[in-house]
Structure 1
Amino acid sequence: MHIQRAQEIAASPVMAQVTYNGKPIYIQHVDEKNELARIYLLDQPEHEIDVPLQQLTEE
């Protein structure tokens, strides 16, 4: 996923369908410098992780 699109999704009040390893996620923050996104799986909101933007897919 491109940095700009990830930032748009993170800032939007509308929930976008984004997946990480085939599982639906929520993007909390985008780190432009390191090209990472802070995410959590929708079924595990207490478990936040940083992942490379390239591993995110918009459905």
Structure 2
Amino acid sequence: MNTTRAKQIYESDETISVMLDGDSVWIEHVDEANGMATVQVSSIPVTTKTVSCDRLQEQSH
């Protein structure tokens, strides 16, 4: 996904499913200047990763 959409999901009041490499993640921060997002892996809540926004995929319901 693009950085703008990642920021929209981060700021949304809705719960929007986002995937990273097959794992469900929560977006914790979006660095718009660098196109990066810090995410928390749902299956391992203490694990955070900083990845390029283009690696994130929004799941449609």
User: Is the TM-score greater than 0.5?
Assistant: yes
Q: Distance in 2 between matches of 1:41 and 1:16?
A: 14
Between the two proteins, the alignment pairs up a number of residues equal to 59
User: Are residue 26 (structure 1) and residue 21 (structure 2) matched?
Assistant: no
Identity between Structure 1 and Structure 2 (%): 31
Cα offsets for 1:4-31 (capped at 9, x unmatched): 1100111112111110001110001100
Cα distance in 1 for residues equivalent to 2:44 and 2:14: 19
Deviation at 1:55, TM superposition (A): 0.4
TM-score computed with the length of structure 1 as normaliser = 0.91
Residues 1-59 of structure 1 mapped to structure 2, 5 A cutoff: 1-59=1-59
RMSD between aligned residues: 0.8
Q: Please state how far the C-alpha of 1:50 moved relative to its aligned partner.
A: 0.2
Flag structure 1 segments of 5+ consecutive residues without an equivalent: none
Question: Tell me, what secondary structure is at the counterpart of 1:16?
Answer: coil
TM-score (norm 2): 0.89
- Structure 2 runs not aligned, ≥5 long: none
* Counterpart code for 1:53: C
